[in-house]
Structures are given as structure tokens and as C-alpha cells.
Amino acid sequence: MTPALQQGAQVVQLRHARAAARFVRSTLSIAVPVFLVATLITFLLGVVSGLDPAAGIAGDAASPEIIARIRADLGLDQPIALQYLQWMGQLLRGDLGTSWFNGISASELIAQRLPISLSIAGMALLMGLVFGTGLGLVAGVRSGTRIDRAITLFAAIVSSLPPFVVAFGLILVFSLWLGWLPSSGYVPFSEDPAGWLAAIGIPAVALSVDVVADLARQLRTGLVSALSENYVTGAVVRGLSRRRILFVHVLRNAAGPALTVVALRVPMLIGGAVVTEAIFNMPGMGKLAADSALRGDVPVVQGTLVVSIVLILACNLCVNVLLGVLQPAARRRS
């Protein structure tokens, strides 16, 4: 290869590297403002709640001077802008503040409960991905057949059922009638993996049905349209196998909208954890947020919100990167 030719290849690769850098920049340029605005709202929620821990801490007989001193200790007498900067500074160092209710650090409270919520949401996401992809693939490839219609009907029915209805139905069948799975409680994975799976089984399935239905429908649509593209005919004429055409060529181009749907579903999985944890009486982060809100424990509520924001943004970033890898054309548009 002559130097001039090598240069040509390098120019192309450089252009692609630049496009990738542009893609990363544009993704971050969305994620950072979203993080700032969402955390600002979280902070302001605490301010407008009008809740003040000082009176509670000082007790009934406290004099106004004592209350003022406690307020000063907590920094609540500072201007709001300054309070925000301090709060954000702590947050970026991983300090979510201290519970007004029991004085335990919010990070610690959340860290205790996060594994439970993550277990349920993560398992629900995993099941949603596996079954949604499977059903979507079958329906897309066999579009127009009876099995396609059956899958489409199934998706329409389950997506019209709220997760808590599905949860009660599953409890009725698997806990009360069959007695296979517990209807409440949580066992850490480290203590008993089988018990852990049994405990999160029903809540995870209940949460995952929406993901399954959405993903299956979106993937089916994407596959049907991608299968009618000219490049599929081109690949057939080139003598490639059906399996290779489906998994290497078609799926790659059909997966985009389906992945986007999954990304949109992640916040709902985390939100859904609040309801399911209440139903199954599990001490997860959702339950912590609900209990703390009822107690007026502002730092803990804010902490759970910030953790949720970070989780959702991280998931969206992952999906965006995956989309960029699968479909370089998407980079060009951004």
C-alpha cells in the first residue's frame, strides 16, 4: 500500500472518529443539562414544601432562640441560592444529607434499600428484554401468520393491564392457589439466591409485562419494515443465509426504535417499584421514598430522587451509546 492510499483510509477513519466524538458530545450536552434541571427541581421541592426540622428537633418547649440556633446549624438561615450551591456541592461528593427524622445519613438509608429496588427493576428489565425480543422476533419474521396475530393480541391485552392488577393476579395464582412463591418479604441474594429469586419473581414479572408488550410490538414493526428494504433483497441475491440476514443485517437496523422504547420504560420501572414494593411489603427504595415523604423527611426524599435521576440518565446514556454503535447513520444526523 502506498503512503497516499494509507492516508486516504486514515482520512475516512478520522472522519468516523470525529463523528463519534460529535455524537458523544451531543449526548453529554443533553445529559448534563437534564441532570442540572432535574436536581434543581428536586432541591426546590424541598424549599417549597415549607417543612422545617428545627421545631421537631428542638422539642415542644424550645424557645425561639434555640430554634434559630438549630436553623443556623443546619444552614437554613442562608439565602436559598447559597443553600442550593452547598447542597449541590455535597451531592457531587456523594453526600446526600442527613435524615431529619433519625439523623442517619440519607446515603446509608438508600444504600440499604437500593439493592431491593434494583433487583426488582433489573430483573423486570432483563425479563422484558428477553421475552420482548423473543416475541417481537417471532412476530416480525412470521408477520401476518396466526402466531403473529396471537402475539400482537397478547401484547395488546397485557399492556392494558396496570402492573398492580397483574401483581394481584399473580399473587392469587402463584402464592394463594399454588403456593409456589411467597407473596411478600425479601431475601438478599447473598443469603439465599433461590429465595431471592422467589421473592422478587412475582413483582419483577408484574413490572416487566409492559416492557415485554412495548418491546415486542416495536421490534415487530421495525422488523417488518426492515425486512422489506432493498438491502435485504441485496443480501439474498448475494447468497447470504436467512439467519445471517436476520441477525446481522435486519435486526441491527430494526433494533433502534425498540431500544428507544426500552429507554423510555426505565423510569416507569423505577416508579413502578414504589407501588410493587408497597404491595409486596418489601423495604425497598420506593417504600423508603414514600415513608419519608409522609414523615416530611426532606433530605431522604431528595436523596431517592437524585439516585433515581442518576439511574435513569445512566440507562439513557447506555442506550444512546448502543444505538450509536449499532447505527452509525444516527451519528450523522445528530
Place of cell 440556633: 69
Name which position in 236, 264, 314, 321 contacts another protein (CB under 8 A).
Answer: 236
Residue 230 near another protein by CB under 8 A: yes
Residue 234 near another protein by CB under 8 A: yes
Residue 220 near another protein by CB under 8 A: no
Name which position in 18, 22, 25, 252 contacts another protein (CB under 8 A).
Answer: 252
Name which position in 64, 94, 179, 239 contacts another protein (CB under 8 A).
Answer: 239
Residue 22 near another protein by CB under 8 A: no
Residue 229 near another protein by CB under 8 A: yes
The alpha-helical segments, DSSP class H, found in the chain are 3-48, 53-58, 64-74, 80-92, 106-141, 146-159, 163-170, 193-227, 230-237, 242-244, 251-279, 285-295, 298-326, 328-333
Residue 243 near another protein by CB under 8 A: no
Nearest to 125 by CA among 286, 315, 310, 269: 269
Name which position in 73, 244, 281, 321 contacts another protein (CB under 8 A).
Answer: 244
Query: Minimum CB separation from another protein for residue 146, in Å?
Result: 18
Nearer residue to another protein within complex by CB, 106 or 235: 235
Query: Minimum CB separation from another protein for residue 247, in Å?
Result: 12
Nearer residue to another protein within complex by CB, 91 or 139: 139
Nearer residue to another protein within complex by CB, 93 or 238: 238
Residue 3 near another protein by CB under 8 A: no
Name which position in 114, 240, 278, 310 contacts another protein (CB under 8 A).
Answer: 240
On whether the CB atoms of residues 92 and 248 are closer than 8 A, the answer is no
- For residue 233, the Cα-to-chain-centroid distance in whole angstroms is 37
Q: How far apart are CA 117 and CA 63, in angstroms?
A: 42
Nearer residue to another protein within complex by CB, 217 or 331: 331
Q: How far apart are CA 60 and CA 311, in angstroms?
A: 40
Residue 321 near another protein by CB under 8 A: no
User: Which region among 178-186, 200-208, 285-293, 326-334 touches another protein (by CB under 8 A)?
Assistant: 326-334
Place of cell 486514515: 10
> Count residues contacting another protein (CB under 8 A)?
34
Cell numbers of 137, please? 422476533
Q: How far apart are CA 131 and CA 44, in angstroms?
A: 40
Query: Minimum CB separation from another protein for residue 153, in Å?
Result: 23
Q: How far apart are CA 279 and CA 274, in angstroms?
A: 9
Name which position in 16, 18, 25, 149 contacts another protein (CB under 8 A).
Answer: 16
Q: How far apart are CA 196 and CA 203, in angstroms?
A: 12
Name which position in 31, 187, 322, 326 contacts another protein (CB under 8 A).
Answer: 326
DSSP 48-83: HT---HHHHHH-TT--HHHHHHHHHHHTTTS-HHHH
Name which position in 26, 27, 78, 327 contacts another protein (CB under 8 A).
Answer: 327
> Residue-wise over 111-149: b if at least 16 C-beta within 10 A, else e?
eebbbbbbbbbebbbebbbebbbebbbbbbbebeeeebe
Q: Interface residues with another protein (CB under 8 A)? A: 1, 4-6, 8-9, 11-13, 16, 228-231, 233-242, 244, 248-249, 252-253, 326-329, 332
